[in-house]
Chains A and B, each alone.
Chain A
Amino acid sequence: MRDVGKRLLQLIPILFVITFLSFAMMHLAGSDAVEQKMLNTGETASAETVDRARAELGLNLPFPIQYGRWLKGLVHGDMGVSYVSGKAVMPLFFSKLPATLLLTLLSVLLTVFISVPLGILSAVYQNRGIDLLIRILSFIGNSMPNFFTALVLMYLLAIIHPIFPVISGDLSLRSAALPSITLAIAMSAKYIRQMRAVVLKELHQPYVTGATARGVRFSTILFHSVLKASLVTIFTLLAMSIGSLLGGTAIVESIFMWDGVGKMAADAIRMRDYPVIQAYVMWMAVIYVLVNLAADLLNRLLDPRIRLGEEA
């Protein structure tokens, strides 16, 4: 438990450095919300108007001072107001969170349901027809950019066969189906391969040969020993994926008009909406630390060997 507290404390310096870094990055990126908005509306404002708009947002100040101001607000629990929509960042961010959480949950579940059985199948039937087929499928999944998968799925499952809607109307399973499948395809493609490799490795362990020789049923070996041993790998991988999914998936969320954190981040980055970007960056740091912590705890639970090692 002491360990957990320590890990959580580490979050503070990470947050500090990362938010500063992102401020610096944005400064480096040039342009700002005022300019981006003018660009979108085609407005021809005078230099004075632009300067005034910048001054109102504090964009005319040197960036360390801007950062200081933001930090001061944060300490007082104020994350500022979006430069673009004029809404308070904190409630805005929390209003986007449920959508991303739902998408994360669904796509991870789908991924597990697809990749675990397929990975096992592929390993057990190594180098036979079904293995080949699964591997080819995984190569295809691995070589389709997200936006392409999304379009193909929309075409197949919303137009040719109108089962799911193209755009999400609400936070329902039906709405979430296409974006989750899109994400699950890309992730499964990767995990099938990992799963296959892990199971293959386990299958060639001496204990498997031994058990087979003793006449233990293969399915028992597979489910009791091999799968259990593979869990560590699966959980580690999933932890990483969950981390990046919780940060929202800019492309998939944008395409499906899924009103989540990733779309918010992509929009904010394009518009140079600093306060919103900061909220996003902080969220990413928090989930990174939490997910790693969770993964470590889980690993210790599942694989007692690690406790002895120095890598823990």
Chain B
Amino acid sequence: MNKWNKKMVKKLLAALLAGGLVLTGCGSQESSSGNPIPSAAGTSGAEAASPTVQKGEKTFVFGDTTFNSENEEANINPHDTYCGWAAIRYGVGETLFRFTDQMELEPWIASGYDQVDDKTWKIQIKDGVTFSNGKAVDAAAVKACLEDLVSVHERAAGDLKISSMEADGQTLTVKTAEQNPTLLNYLSDPYGCIIDMEAGNQNGIVIGTGPFAAEDLVTDDHLTLKKNKHYWNGEVKVDHVKVRTISDGDTLALALQSGEIDAAYGMAYASYPLFKNDYYAFSTITTSRAFYAQMNEQSGILKDDAVRKALAMGIGKEDFVRTLLRGYGEVANGAFPESFSFGRDVKAEPYDPEGAAKVLEEDGWIDTDGDGIREKDGQRLVIRWLTYPSRQELPLLAEASQASLKKIGIEVKVNVAADHNTLVADPSVWDVYAAAFVTCPTGDPLYFFSTHCLDSSAKNRGGYHSDRIEELARQMDAAFDPKERGTIARQMQQQILDDHAFVFCSFLKMSIVRKASVTGLDAHACDYYELTKDLDIEAA
């Protein structure tokens, strides 16, 4: 080896360095710069790559984890599965009514309504509302849109129960086949987004009444929008918008840090601390996405009310929310957040490990062999906890509960299974099923109970039955007054809590993280509205 030509080595090294420098050279000097987070966020990092302002026009880039065909948002045509969410969120379309953050209805395209009788509603359309192509919106246009909706969208047809409609100027008369107290709520679901049927649908792009008009759409990749010059509700401040689908939460956070996007929706909690500084702002709100544990009433061990009660008392919701969700959650009592009118005045078992231990002891569950787990009649107190990984909070909840229940002598065997739907159908393989569910998507409190608590409910996985709940559900079905529905909803929540059929652990606090230069972008309790005419971005 000594005959080795030194010059050659040098040449080789030089070539190598030249090539390698481009790739790696830049990273090396940085380690000395100390804490890189603020510097990265504000200065060169953000601006160098910023697509914000071009020749006097404002461009806004939005990163979203949810805009993809896996969520049935392959395009923005509201009459296609869940695509209405994209139409509403990105400001392409609007509904007749909209939800306040207390989940109460307020007029949007409509100016008001009269309820003529149990099955007839007269809805007034605002004067001066136009589609983004300039065409005026009248009752006939709304009728054409809704007619198409109920003919092609099965879920909408089932919710709305519309039998006929009549258009007269700006007045739309809707008749329902049976009494439907929640008609207006469902008209405010994203599928109720009003679009111009005459303009048709090019490759999933529709014409709505919102502040932005869609230009280009590539499923699972991006949507580009331009300012709607004809917007009926005031001047739109941003000229161009690009919505980028970014499925990975970490990539989303990094793209916001690098300045490639101006705001992000769907970031992991773990990334939040990166944006807790002057260069970014959060808009956070409690939604009705609940993380709950559903008891299997057919399981031998949970037939015992004392065990269910102890579970309700023994799960450390506070710790879960504070530490694992980093405060980005609200501790739950009932099925709805306290910010909703029907979410108040419901009493769940408070967190009380000593009390839970006592309840178990009195019921005969005692740790006789000293292994920390209680037994009764030779049976160990082991709970099989089934949950799934696709919601980042659920494995956290499972682990938190495992730890807090161990303290009162209950062993929790966690099964985080992607195929939980198959497993949950077999009541012999699980005791507690923890899931996430939006309990009140359209402001209708009956929705959660009709999907989870009745004998006929598709998601009544644990076989829960209560005569009183069945009766109250029938009552609510016939109640039109929102106050009365709220009262019944509170009674129903109290009943399922007293029966220890569910433990509601927390509600999701949804956050949109944006650059500090972005204003007018706020999170909403119903999770439908994102981009509005108020969206603005300061020139850097």
B-contacting residues of A (Cβ < 8 Å)?
30-31, 35-37, 39-47, 49, 82, 84-87, 110, 113-114, 117-118, 120-121, 124-126, 151, 154-163, 165-167, 181, 212, 217-219, 222, 254-257, 259, 267, 270-271
Contact = CB atoms under 8 A, between A and B. Distances in A.
Nearest to B256: A166
Contacts of B419: 30-31
A161 B26 contact: yes
B492 interface: no
A160 B221 CA distance: 26
Given A117-B12, A121-B16, A37 B255 contact: no
B155 A118 contact: no
A257 B74 contact: no
B501 to A, nearest CB: 17
Contact of B259 (A42, A46, A162, A271): A162
Contacts of B82: 41, 43
A267 B220 contact: yes
B74 A46 contact: no
A160 B74 contact: no
A257 B9 contact: no
Given A84-B69, A270-B70, A163 B26 contact: yes
Nearest to A161: B26
A124 B13 CA distance: 12
A117 B15 contact: yes
A151 B422 contact: no
Interface stretch (B243-251, B297-305, B372-380, B466-474): B243-251
Contacts, number: 149
B422 A158 contact: no
Those 9 A-B pairs whose CB atoms lie nearest each other, nearest first = A156-B27, A85-B69, A219-B8, A162-B48, A44-B451, A166-B255, A158-B258, A85-B74, A161-B26
Q: Most chain-B CB neighbours within 10 Å: which of A165, A181, A212?
A: A165
Interface in B225-259: 244-248, 250-251, 254-255, 257-259
B458 A45 contact: yes
Interface residues of B, number: 60
A181 B27 CA distance: 13
Nearest to A203: B1
User: DSSP class of A's interface residues: helix, strand, loop or mixed?
Assistant: helix
Q: Most chain-B CB neighbours within 10 Å: which of A118, A120, A151, A161?
A: A161
Interface in B394-441: 419, 421-422, 436-438
Nearest to A124: B4
A257 B16 contact: no
Interface string B10-40: 0011011001100100110010010010001
Contacts of A217: 5
B26 A167 contact: no
B429 to A, nearest CB: 14
B318 interface: no
B219 A162 contact: no
Given A162-B259, A166-B258, A257 B244 contact: yes
A39 B422 CA distance: 12
Contact of B70 (A30, A84, A158): A84
Nearest to B242: A169
B437 A42 contact: yes
Nearest to B85: A41
A158 B69 CA distance: 28
B355 interface: no
A167 B255 contact: yes
Contacts of B1: 124-126
A37 B70 contact: yes
Contacts of A35: 421
